[in-house]
Chain A
Amino acid sequence: MKLTHDQVTHVARLASLSLTPEEEAHFAEELSQILDYVENLNRLMLPPPGLHVGDGVSDPTPLHPDIPRPSVPVEEALSNAPDRSGQFFRVPRILEEGR
């Protein structure tokens, strides 16, 4: 399956990546190869994804009791942040879009 140029730029936009024309061409090729490889799975007779439970593939999801445990200290939580301001993570300004 050959990815079109538009599909590559669309995926790049969703991933917030800006690609050069050379990269676009490169990824169109590379992503297509990956998709072809994954396509092989379709030849296996697998149950539909998601509900394969009790068939030996996986057990039901475990549950945790609703009892809080201490969180990590705020200094530790922020220690890997590229930027911070007081106790907040600081990020480039985003427009008030909400979600």
Chain B
Amino acid sequence: MSQTHKNIIETKNLGKTVPTTDGPLCILSSVDLLIKPGESIAVVGASGSGKSTLLGLLAGLDTPTQGFIKLNGVDLTTVGEDGRAELRNQFVGFVFQSFQLLSGLTALENVMLPLELRGDKNAKVSATQLLERVGLSHRLTHTPMKLSGGEQQRVALARAFVTEPAILFADEPTGNLDSKTGDYIIDLLFQLNQEKKTTLVLVTHDNALATRCQRTIKLEAGRQA
């Protein structure tokens, strides 16, 4: 990993406005954040409050219409899409509500993929180890269709942590799971987070889950409450 800055994520006056048929619509505005390495942050708010928009902007998946975001010291608004892709590849891991596994690939291949993109020759070994860590050593060759929701999310966790990212973005990781499986996944997420010393940005509408993070940021109608 390259040099780590004092604040791994920094935003100033961050906002997003989208054009609609009725004129411009502001979906996020004036968000100021400072997140230190290893911190765990929960972003909470009602549906439509701008949680996912903020996550997309912080992760460099989308571009803001106002303000700036610095990721590990690099201002994302000054680099192009390819530059952001490179940053994602180096520093970022993701866990999504809908798992987002590649349906044609086995569990092992899904976990290997980010390592393969980096050209890592030990992709298979690392991926196997992490799948064992999440308790799926017996499911390596199964495609997502043959896995339960909980198992799919465990594969997604393994994929997110296999590159040992500096920051992990998790978008409602338990949203598609029953409460028992959800609890198991969250336990696993926090265990891995502590083991790998990853910065965690967790988007959720579950206040109980948010309390497990060190800090909570609340959004209301696109603004920091």
Indicate, yes or no, whether A interacts with B: no
